[in-house]
Amino acid sequence: MRVVIQESYDKMCKWAADYISARIKAHNAGPEAGRPFVLGLPTGSSPIGVYKELARQNQAGELSFANVVTFNMDEYLGLPHEHDQSYWYFMHDNFFDHLVDMKPENINILNGMTEDPEEECRRYEEKIKSYGGIDLFMGGIGVDGHIAFNEPFTSLSSRTGVRNLTTDTRIVNSRFFGNDPEKVPAQALSVGVGTVFDSKEVLILINGHNKARALAATVEGAVSQKWTCSALQNHNGAIIACDEAACGELTVDTYKYFLDIEKKERL
Ligand code: GLP
């Protein structure tokens, strides 16, 4: 596992955006350019700076999304697209609407208004497979270490499915719902931990003091379904991009190790 520590949130976002950009460009210049680059994407406040920088590069003509297919991690169950807290709305508002050459038909987001959630999730997994899997999955994590909406004790081999949200997560996410946890949907559709870990590469953003415990559990803890993010330790292409603030619970040795080993930027 790589852990790339950046001084600030902005630098973390710049690093992550440059990494993704380099991967898309390398794909398009390589032997697999005939098929699209398949990019997994998260919502939440963590990736907003990454989306801004990717959109800037796209608008400046430095990076094209014409050959990119995206799959989002999750969606609240029961929120229509036009609800300003649906993840569909979030993704268009914060990212897709700012890209000059993203094809709408290449955007995949679980349908939170589906009448048959199980079928919707099965279809999603099949569609990911039809593209040959995900090349790079960017993600964030919750303060309890949840990845997508895979709350503590979700199986580490879980697939896309319906998830019940914990009270803790509804409280944390209530900041987007007028600070009323009851207004946060109780269920969501989410890719599984297994779905994320089938990707060739996984890039997880972890920033801020409130994620320090989760970062330590991800990097230093035992692999455990209690911290679903800890499954990253078993992935051969896992990168964590984090800021200084999130490093507060790492041991000094761990912190120094990753600063040392990452001294030379390896893109
Ligand atoms: C939600 C999303 C997760 C996201 C998490 C953290 O629960 N389902 O995918 O990682 O929020 O969000 P933030 O980046 O705002 O801390």
- What pLDDT, in 10s, does the model give residues 37-53? 999 999 999 999 999 99
What mean pLDDT comes out for the span 211-227? Answer: 97
Residue 20 CA to residue 99 CA, distance in Å, equals 15
- What pLDDT, in 10s, does the model give residues 119-138? 999 999 999 999 999 999 99
Judged against a pLDDT cut of 80, whether residue 176 lies above it is answered with: yes
Q: Is the CB of 233 under 6 A from ligand 1?
A: no
What mean pLDDT comes out for the span 133-151? Answer: 95
Catalytic residue among 75, 135, 146, 201, which?
146
The model carries a pTM of 0.95
Query: Does residue 168 have an active-site annotation?
Result: no
What mean pLDDT comes out for the span 240-257? Answer: 98
Judged against a pLDDT cut of 60, whether residue 68 lies above it is answered with: yes
> What CATH architecture does domain 2-266 belong to?
3-Layer(aba) Sandwich (3.40)
What mean pLDDT comes out for the span 253-266? Answer: 87
Burial of 203 (0-12, 13-18, 19+ CB in 10 A): buried
Burial of 75 (0-12, 13-18, 19+ CB in 10 A): buried
Q: How much is the mean pLDDT over the chain?
A: 96
Judged against a pLDDT cut of 90, whether residue 265 lies above it is answered with: no
Residue 18 CA to residue 12 CA, distance in Å, equals 10
Q: How far is the CA of 164 from the centre of ligand 1 (A)?
A: 15
The domains of the chain are located at 2-266
- With cut-offs at 50, 70 and 90, classify the pLDDT of residue 263: confident
Judged against a pLDDT cut of 70, whether residue 94 lies above it is answered with: yes
- With cut-offs at 50, 70 and 90, classify the pLDDT of residue 198: very high
Instruction: Tell the residue nearest (CA) to atom 9 of ligand 1.
Output: 148
Give percent of the chain with pLDDT exceeding 90: 98
Q: How far is the CA of 140 from the centre of ligand 1 (A)?
A: 6
